Amino acid sequence: MLKGVVRLILGRTFSDRLFAHEITRERLRLLSKAAVAGIVGKTVFCHLCGRPLARVLPVFRRGKIELWGMHMCIAKVDFDDRNTLRFSHVLAENCEALRRHDRP
């Protein structure tokens, strides 16, 4: 019953990740942050190909900025300038621009 409700509210991929392994306190904390980010967060896009990477929620805590939900994808982060971050895919199989660049 719980699995069905979680799957209905948060989606199949999130539900499968949640119930795939033993639920530890740390895992539950990370997945709950990702769930909150998935519901109220903003979508971050790859600056190379324009495809979505993840839904994230910036949270200011203890003098740091945490991006809740960013751990759900494999991404590279660079500074565009002093105030702007750029996110991009790491794996060429996920990014159309990197696939085109790797072809001979």
Rama region for 36: left / alpha / beta (φ>0; ψ in -120 to 50; rest): alpha
Whole-number pLDDT of residue 21: 66
User: Quick one: average pLDDT of 11-27?
Assistant: 72
Average pLDDT, the chain: 81
- Name the band, by pLDDT with cuts 50, 70 and 90, for residue 102: low
Whole-number pLDDT of residue 72: 79
C-alpha closest to that of 80 among 48, 43, 102, 53: 48
| Tens of pLDDT, residues 32-78 | 888 888 889 999 998 888 888 888 999 998 998 888 888 878 888 88
Neighbours of 93 (CB within 10 A): 8
Contacts of 85 (CB under 8 A, 6+ apart): 77, 78, 79
